[in-house]
Amino acid sequence: MAVTEIGDRSWDFAEADGQAIDLRRRGVPVEMPTRWRLFGPLDEDTTETVWTKFFRVAGGHKARSRVELDIDRHRNVPDQLEIGGRVLEGRDVTLRDGVLDLSAVFGGHGNGQQAFMFAEIDVPADGEVALGAGTDYWMRWWVDGALVLDTMAAGNVAHPIGHVDQCFRRELKAGKHLLAVHLVSGTASWIFKARTATPADEAMSALNEVDYARWGVVPELNAWRPPRPNSNWEWVTAIRSDVAYADVAVECRYQQYSPQGNFGIVIGAQDSDRYYYAYVPVWGQLWRARGFWAAIAVTDGCGHVRNIELKLMHNVPAHQDMWRTLKVERKGNEIQMWVHGVRGPRVRDETYGAGRVGIAGFGDFLVRDVEIEAEQEVEGRGWTAGGRRGASWCHVEEDVSLGDFQHPGQMILDGDQITLPLVIGRNESCHKLNDSNSAVYLYRSGDLGRSWERFAGPIARRDVPEGTRFLVEPGVIRSVHFKNDERCFVIRESRDGEETWSEPMVGRLAGDWEKMFAANARNGASGYTQLNDGTLVVNIGHDYVGLYDSVANVGEGTWGTGMCQPYCTMSRDGGMTWDEPVPLDHAANRMSAEPDGHCCGFSETTSAQLPDGKIVAIARPYRSPFMWQTESADGGKTWRQACYAPFSGAGAPVMIGTRSGYLAVIKRGPGDGLHCSYDGGLNWDAGTMIDYNGLFNGSAIEAEADVMLTAYPQSMDEIRPAYARVQRIRISPDGPVALLD
């Protein structure tokens, strides 16, 4: 990509072009009417709505009315409205501060209901009139019977709803003119907002309409919006290329809209993928927990972002819809970060000297007021424009004719052969794949994950057993699935690399299991490991149902939690007999007291055994801002009290213990985040973002000594096509190293 002139500065948009948006001249000053006549609502069955499953797809969500209003019939505000075989009586309503809550007016609403509003606007002089509006979720506007705004094919593109989310201009003569608005409800609130639009309003609204493949910039407002590509989940950078700095401070205001993504400030950039990165990650886990993390990292040219420091911030709200400030200051080899005025990570590092500055991240964000302060500019190395960010991953399957979504299963290493199943589906949420829209394909690697070939498939999903896979002897894979309602493990066996499976066998429960089957409890396997002696370990989430109710109309980000006590059970005969479950969190507070404490949603647990026999477990918390960690020194018979881990994470984490005694856990957050420990889990590094999709839900194995092989989906319901990606990463005391062979 070429360098783009933005105002009097040069910017390199490495992954995409940039487009400047100029302010328009001010239109004729008018006042938005406050008195409107409202008609409705029409029932939900009068509308066809299509909620796009993949929120990154351009075009968004769609609606189509099954009945149409003949706008041309109306020259004045009507008293009645004939539509869809019904006659609707109008009611007069008032926009207070430009806002009308239709759900409150109608006493509630459903998805796809319709309403119509009419008002007269008084134009004092001939000229262009600029108006703006926002609603959740669809709307159309007419002026004197002419359609001037239509969002039925895309829906709302801004959060929260604003008065000028969409703007339009119309050349009008002096006098009164008829405004008509068609509104269609979505699934959440049903709010309508409107006001006259300033040139600044129009420019900011235009950022929402910029080509999804471009940066949009309003130089006069110092406003920036990144590309939102519909065919790839992209990391994007905007780096000022015409000047380098040594000591420098960069500050801006920003909003992050995506449920997962990163936004941060770049300093010391040597090229488009070698720089310091001070950033704020988000993923769904953090909103539920009200957790806010920040990090200072260094990028190395291979696509990894290695954190130098990762910090849980105090006193910074996690709302997606609020503006926060981000400031980064560099003096010599010291870098200090502030978020929302709160002091964040501070590091000393000498990897890079003087360099360029900019902004970078992935997911939707909006940036305002980027300010660069430095006492002097310095001579920097030559800048090569248009570089691309490195990639440390490869695809398992390039053929999207099989389906546009690929989800990898659990890898099995048998000698020097690795087997990897992929669920491949099309045009459906990953949470709704079934035999009608997806199938299983099997892949094999004979070079420890460097390359892959398909050797079987399609296989109907009903013919593939649920559960965890274990290699119980060379050439023999067993699937272990715990069925709570039937109070047993179901075992199936494959001797041909998972192509076919035996009839189900039932694993016996030994010891006292009755405590697991309380009336208000449910149990589900939530992790696994295989010990050095071949013992199979399955972690069970013992979840107590209905202990609390969410606060009405507030959502998941409220206080309170479910209760999920973690247990583990072991089998020493290949899954045919399972020991009495033992709690993974020994929370007794005095001698001989029964373990009774829980960890607020110890819901997805991964564990690994070290060469000395110690087992370490890490768990995803559903509503905590950090993960939980515990360990066993006696082969899983007893476990110590669970403690806070120094990082957060979700997305079905997976951990391995390497032959040199290193631990590596990979999970959602930040991005696809990998943390390593070199002393048996006592201390952990600050983490490395190995990919930028921010969801994980993959698998990992030790493919060779101290080399992690991980497979994960490129996305869940964000984009299509979504490939399965594979990385080979060496776990070394100097940090994880991407193996690009």
How does residue 237 score in pLDDT terms, banded at 50, 70 and 90? very high
How does residue 560 score in pLDDT terms, banded at 50, 70 and 90? very low
How does residue 307 score in pLDDT terms, banded at 50, 70 and 90? very high
Q: What is the pLDDT of residue 428?
A: 80
Q: In 469-480, which positions are buried (b, 16+ CB within 10 angstroms) versus exposed (e)?
A: bbbbeeeebbbb
Q: What is the pLDDT of residue 520?
A: 77
- Residues 278 and 262 placed together within one structural domain of the fold: yes
Q: Edge-to-edge, what's the strand order for the sheet holding 17-20? A: 17-20, 214-218, 223-225, 365-373, 248-256, 324-331, 334-339, 342-348
Inform me whether the pLDDT recorded for 105 exceeds 50: yes
Inform me whether the pLDDT recorded for 592 exceeds 70: no
How does residue 453 score in pLDDT terms, banded at 50, 70 and 90? very high
Q: What is the pLDDT of residue 424?
A: 96
Residue 701, SS3 per DSSP:
strand
Higher pLDDT, 116 or 210: 116
Inform me whether the pLDDT recorded for 557 exceeds 50: no
- Nearest to 149, CA basis, from 216, 197, 100, 83: 197
Last residue within a domain, chosen from 153, 179, 209:
209
- Residues 235 and 135 placed together within one structural domain of the fold: no
Residues 671, 623 contacting (CB under 8 angstroms): no
- Residues 172 and 321 placed together within one structural domain of the fold: no
Inform me whether the pLDDT recorded for 380 exceeds 90: no
**Across 98-190, where does the E strand assignment appear?**
99-101, 114-123, 127-135, 137-143, 146-150, 166-172, 175-185
Average pLDDT, the chain: 90
Q: What is the pLDDT of residue 562?
A: 58
Q: What is the pLDDT of residue 81?
A: 93
- Residues 169 and 285 placed together within one structural domain of the fold: no
The reply to whether 704 falls in a domain is no
Pairing mode of beta strands 602-609, 615-621: antiparallel
What is the per-residue pLDDT across 505-517, written as a single tens digit (0 to 9) for each?
Answer: 999 999 999 989 9
- Nearest to 190, CA basis, from 122, 128, 288, 101: 101
What is the per-residue pLDDT across 615-641, written as a single tens digit (0 to 9) for each?
Answer: 999 998 777 889 999 999 999 999 998
- Which of 102-106, 556-560, 707-711 is least confident? 556-560
Inform me whether the pLDDT recorded for 533 exceeds 50: yes
What mean pLDDT is predicted for residues 649-660?
95
- Residues 217 and 203 placed together within one structural domain of the fold: no
Q: What is the pLDDT of residue 551?
A: 54
Last residue within a domain, chosen from 373, 403, 426:
373
The pTM for the full model equals: 0.92
The reply to whether 680 falls in a domain is no
Number of domains forming the structure of the chain: 2
Q: In 153-162, which positions are buried (b, 16+ CB within 10 angstroms) versus exposed (e)?
A: ebbbbbebbb
Q: What is the pLDDT of residue 552?
A: 57
Inform me whether the pLDDT recorded for 559 exceeds 50: no
What mean pLDDT is predicted for residues 574-586?
92
The reply to whether 595 falls in a domain is no
Angle at 433 between CA 444 and CA 472, to 5 degrees: 40
The Cα 562–Cα 622 span in angstroms is: 8
Q: What is the pLDDT of residue 595?
A: 53
Q: What is the CATH number of the domain that holds 45?
A: 2.60.120
What is the per-residue pLDDT across 312-347, written as a single tens digit (0 to 9) for each?
Answer: 999 999 887 789 999 999 999 999 999 999 999 999
Inform me whether the pLDDT recorded for 413 exceeds 60: yes
How does residue 305 score in pLDDT terms, banded at 50, 70 and 90? very high
The reply to whether 102 falls in a domain is yes
- Residues 143 and 264 placed together within one structural domain of the fold: no
What mean pLDDT is predicted for residues 400-406?
94
The reply to whether 579 falls in a domain is no
The reply to whether 135 falls in a domain is yes
The reply to whether 541 falls in a domain is no
What mean pLDDT is predicted for residues 575-595?
78
The reply to whether 164 falls in a domain is yes
Residue 496 neighbours by CB distance under 10 Å: 12
- Residues 238 and 176 placed together within one structural domain of the fold: no
Q: What is the CATH number of the domain that holds 355?
A: 2.60.120.560
Q: What is the pLDDT of residue 621?
A: 78
Q: Which two tokens stand for residue 418?
A: 């690795």
- Residues 177 and 220 placed together within one structural domain of the fold: no
Q: What is the pLDDT of residue 114?
A: 95
User: For a pLDDT cut of 70, what percent of the chain falls above it?
Assistant: 92
Residue 588, SS3 per DSSP:
coil
- Residues 96 and 198 placed together within one structural domain of the fold: yes
Cα 23 to Cα 217, 397, 403: the distances in Å are: 11, 46, 44
- Residues 93 and 125 placed together within one structural domain of the fold: yes
- Which of 36-45, 251-260, 543-552, 641-650 is least confident? 543-552
- Residues 8 and 116 placed together within one structural domain of the fold: no
Q: What is the pLDDT of residue 554?
A: 52
What is the per-residue pLDDT across 143-162, written as a single tens digit (0 to 9) for each?
Answer: 999 999 999 988 886 767 89
List the domain range (segments joined by +) for residue 78: 35-209
How does residue 566 score in pLDDT terms, banded at 50, 70 and 90? confident
Last residue within a domain, chosen from 313, 348, 373:
373
- Which of 133-142, 205-214, 631-640 is least confident? 205-214
Q: What is the pLDDT of residue 188?
A: 81
**Amino acid identity, position 36:** W
- Residues 16 and 140 placed together within one structural domain of the fold: no
- Which of 11-20, 301-310, 403-412, 436-445 is least confident? 11-20
Inform me whether the pLDDT recorded for 2 exceeds 90: no
- DSSP for 594-634, written as a single string: PP----S-EEEEEEEE-TTS-EEEEEEESS-SS-EEEEESS
